[in-house]
Amino acid sequence: MPRKKGVNGSGTIRKKIIKKNGKEYLYYEARFTVPGMEGKQYQRSIYGKTEKEVAKKLREMTCKVDNGEFFSPKNKDITVKTWLEVWGKDYTLDLKNNTRHEYMQQCKYYLIPAFGDIKLSNLTTHTIQLYYNSLVNPAEGKPLSGKTVKNLHGTFSKALNKAVELGMIGKNPCSAVTLPRVERKEKPEFSVDTVKAVMASFKGHKHELIYEIDIYTGLRESEILGLTWDCIDFERAVLTVKQELIRDRSTGVYEIKRYTKTDKKRIVGIPPTVVELFRKQRKKVEEMKNYVGSIWEDRNLVFPNEIGGFLSYRTVYDCYKKLVKNAGFPNLTFHNLRNAFADISIISGDDPKTLQSNLGHSTAKLSLEVYSNINDDLRREHAQRLENFIKTRL
């Protein structure tokens, strides 16, 4: 039978006739489209005795579909566990391996145990809220930090946003959740005396040059361990930061990853003292190479292990923690060396834009708020400048 447009122009309505016991019966059928999990479209039908009746039902159903209130029966039975597994397998392939691995770990140890058996279409904001609250205020056990819950929420929200895009749910129940407050840790203040004391703790250690050069360059641990000799221009006295040493968390394999984003690559000017430290390290590497002979792995690394291979993050970090703890600074992390670099850069007179460039930040505001402090040295310099002004101008 010919198809007719519905009264409101949405969907299609067709008149149908069936014969039963020698009699003809007239009815109308309306067809509309329902989204499916795989991005496919499914056709559903509505029936009625009159065209007007079916048109009214069609308007109601298409409105529900548009508002995310009606889905394919296949979608309605999907659990949160099933969806998170599908999302992780099929919709995170554009991410870095370590980022993807972290998302999957969060799903495995937190999200699936908490919500896995709930149907995706039945998941509510309040259910999510109660779970987040229990993580920061558990009845027993150690609470999670606000930052950890925020990261967990970010993963869950990404997965549910994709479900919304595919028409599996009408809205993301994560969007209305109230997250716990993230308490920013107090940054360590690095005065000149503090920097001297920290550096003194490195003396004589096999990784001394790593720590000393890092405090003078502000590199991330992955960046300094990923340096190769072509990154250093001794004549121009500049360091090109263009790559990092990455450990794949799923396999444990180390590899050098070059920065693909232009804004992540940066050139850092290095003073003569640091140039000489690099020369000293180059000599040390040559001695190591000659000592082991043919088993040397020629990766051109500035900071290789004993046979030329990659140094372990854990080894470098654990040695560092032991040294600074013995020096009376048990809470200092390796990343705090970037704070030290920022503080001594400000003390030495660097402007915010130069500091931003050297640290590889997107804005100068981030460099100043997160990495630098107004320490006692700066306070004394300010007080002396003000005293000179008072004595000479007032």
> The domain spanning residue 277 has which CATH number?
1.10.443.10
pLDDT of residue 128: 97
| Backbone Cα Rg of the chain | 31
User: Is residue 4 very low, low, confident or very high in pLDDT (cuts 50, 70, 90)?
Assistant: very low
126 and 172 inside one domain: yes
Task: Out of 148-152, 190-194, 328-332, pick the least confident.
Answer: 190-194
| Same domain flag for 302 and 216 | yes
Q: How far apart are CA 166 and CA 250, in angstroms?
A: 29
Are 360 and 241 in a shared domain? yes
Does residue 264 sit in the same domain as residue 331? yes
Q: Are residue 128 and residue 164 in the same domain, yes or no?
A: yes
Start-end of H helices in 67-124: 73-76, 80-90, 97-106, 112-115
State the average pLDDT for the chain. 85
- Domain match, 215 and 351 both: yes
Q: Among 36, 52, 70, where does a domain finish?
A: 70
Please tell me the distance from the alpha carbon of residue 349 to that of residue 355, in angstroms, as a whole number: 10
Residues 243 and 309 in one domain: yes
Q: Is 394 inside any structural domain?
A: no
Mean pLDDT of 7-12: 49
Position 172 in a domain: yes
pLDDT confidence band for 155 (50 / 70 / 90): very high
DSSP letters, 115-180, are: HTTSBGGG--HHHHHHHHHHHHS-SSSPPPPHHHHHHHHHHHHHHHHHHHHTTSSSS-GGGGPPPP
What phi and psi values does residue 3 have, to the nearest 5 degrees? Answer: -90, 150
Does the residue 156 lie in any domain?
yes
Question: Does residue 182 lie in a domain region?
Answer: no
Domain boundary among 32, 52, 70: 70
What's the CATH code of the domain at 118?
1.10.150.130
Q: What is the pLDDT of residue 17?
A: 81
Give the span between the Cα atoms of 340 and 123, in whole angstroms: 46
Q: How many domains does the chain have?
A: 3
- Does residue 187 sit within a domain? no
Q: Is 132 among the domain residues?
A: yes
Whether residue 361 is contained in a domain is answered as yes
197 and 336: one domain? yes
Among 195, 156, 196, residue whose Cα is nearest residue 172? 156
Which of 8-17, 56-65, 78-87 ranks highest by mean pLDDT? 78-87
Q: Are residues 334 and 366 in the same domain?
A: yes
Tell me the residue range of the domain where 228 lies. 192-382
Q: Is the pLDDT of residue 46 over 60?
A: yes
* The pLDDT value given to residue 372: 58
Write down which residue in 43, 70, 97 finishes a domain: 70
Report the distance separating Cα 120 and Cα 132, nearest Å: 18
Chain segment 114-148, per-residue pLDDT in tens:
999 999 989 999 999 999 999 999 988 899 999 99
Task: Verify that 107 and 233 share a domain, yes or no.
Answer: no
Tokens of 213: 């050069």
Helix (H, G, I), strand (E, B) or coil at 342: helix
Flag whether pLDDT at 197 surpasses 50.
yes
Does some domain include residue 62?
A: yes
| Same domain, yes or no: 151 and 232 | no
More confident residue, 42 or 233: 233
Does 127 share its domain with 37?
A: no
For 2, 129, 162, 293, 352, the CA distances from 158, given in Å and listed in that order, are 45, 16, 6, 51, 34
